[in-house]
């Protein structure tokens, strides 16, 4: 079954968000880029995840957030000389935390309706 237009917008938002997170891991970040990642994360949570996909997304999202946080703290020490890895992981956190929060809230509201 083909995805709806809103889901395609969410899929594009996901792809663009990850690309921005990786690209700006190598470049200096301006404040507006953080806000762009937050807004894209909100769009991902609102448009891309259906009720059926909520549980797998939440599990993967929580794992990604935890690993990104701890990985960023390990690579942020700069013992390896790879600060860009810490920045990429931080950018992914900024992208996925809002998406995970939105999907979790949608899931709770869905459970409350039952």
Q: What is the pLDDT of residue 16?
A: 93
The closest alpha carbon to 22, from 87, 96, 70, 97, belongs to: 87
Looking at the predicted structure, is the pLDDT value of residue 48 above 90?
no
Residue-wise pLDDT tens digits, 56-93: 989 998 998 899 888 877 776 666 666 788 888 899 99
Q: What is the pLDDT of residue 81?
A: 65
Residue-wise pLDDT tens digits, 87-99: 888 999 999 999 9
Return phi, psi of residue 9, to 5°: -65, -40
**Between vectors from CA 21 to CA 19 and to CA 22, what angle results, nearest 5°?**
65
Q: What is the pLDDT of residue 1?
A: 41
Which single residue is written with the structure tokens 């395609």? 8
- 8 versus 22: the higher-pLDDT residue is 22
């Amino acid at each position: 079954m083909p995805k709806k237009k809103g889901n395609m917008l969410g899929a594009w938002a996901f792809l663009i968000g990850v690309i921005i997170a990786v690209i700006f891991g190598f470049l200096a970040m301006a404040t507006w880029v953080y806000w762009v990642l937050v807004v894209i994360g909100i769009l991902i949570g609102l448009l891309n995840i259906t009720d059926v996909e909520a549980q797998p997304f939440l599990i993967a999202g929580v794992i990604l957030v935890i690993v990104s946080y701890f990985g960023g703290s390990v690579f942020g020490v700069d013992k390896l000389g790879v600060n860009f890895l810490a920045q990429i992981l931080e950018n992914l956190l900024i992208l996925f935390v809002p998406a995970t929060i939105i999907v979790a809230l949608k899931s709770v509201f869905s459970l409350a309706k039952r």
